[in-house]
Amino acid sequence: MKTDLMPAGKYWVGDLCYVMHEEWDEVCGLFFKDRDDHGCNEGLFELKDGRKFVSFNTKYGDGGYYDEAENEYGVDAGLIGCILVSDIKSSDQNTLVGGHVHEFESPFVCSGGRSEQGHDWDGIIQIGHINIATD
């Protein structure tokens, strides 16, 4: 699954549960509003206040996963995504753990997860030029 273009900017990449504490109930509501859609928690989402974020499931759930530069991404909610740093509440910006801040100088696409036809996938979550192996 691929997302629409995300705007250029400084993004936090990692498990969103680490940086969206206040919004987590709303995030989960977006993920699981249609329980018959097993891919419902993957793709581009928008909070009620207009902030957007991307989320994809890891292939094997929680753990530590690495990108091609050997940066580790800790996972406790079985997902990796991205959100603009400026869209993270200030209380959560003080503890940016488990992920990394990346600068994207031009609009970018994100992808990951199984295809809409349900085919298996290689476990790579792509956030712009960042490729995180979750297999």
Nearest to 60 by CA among 99, 113, 20: 113
Q: How confident is the model at residue 115 (pLDDT cuts 50, 70, 90)?
A: low
Q: How far apart are CA 75 and CA 96, in angstroms?
A: 13
Run of H or E residues at 31: helix 24-31
Q: Where are the domains of the chain?
A: 9-133
Q: How confident is the model at residue 84 (pLDDT cuts 50, 70, 90)?
A: very high
pLDDT (average), residues 39-43: 74
Cβ–Cβ under 8 Å, residues 96 and 19:
yes
pLDDT of residue 33 exceeding 60, the answer is yes
pLDDT of residue 49 exceeding 70, the answer is yes
pLDDT, averaged across the chain: 87
Q: How far apart are CA 120 and CA 4, in angstroms?
A: 22
Q: How confident is the model at residue 46 (pLDDT cuts 50, 70, 90)?
A: very high
pLDDT of residue 117 exceeding 60, the answer is no
Compute CA distances 87 → 7, 37, 82, 100, whole Å.
13, 27, 10, 15
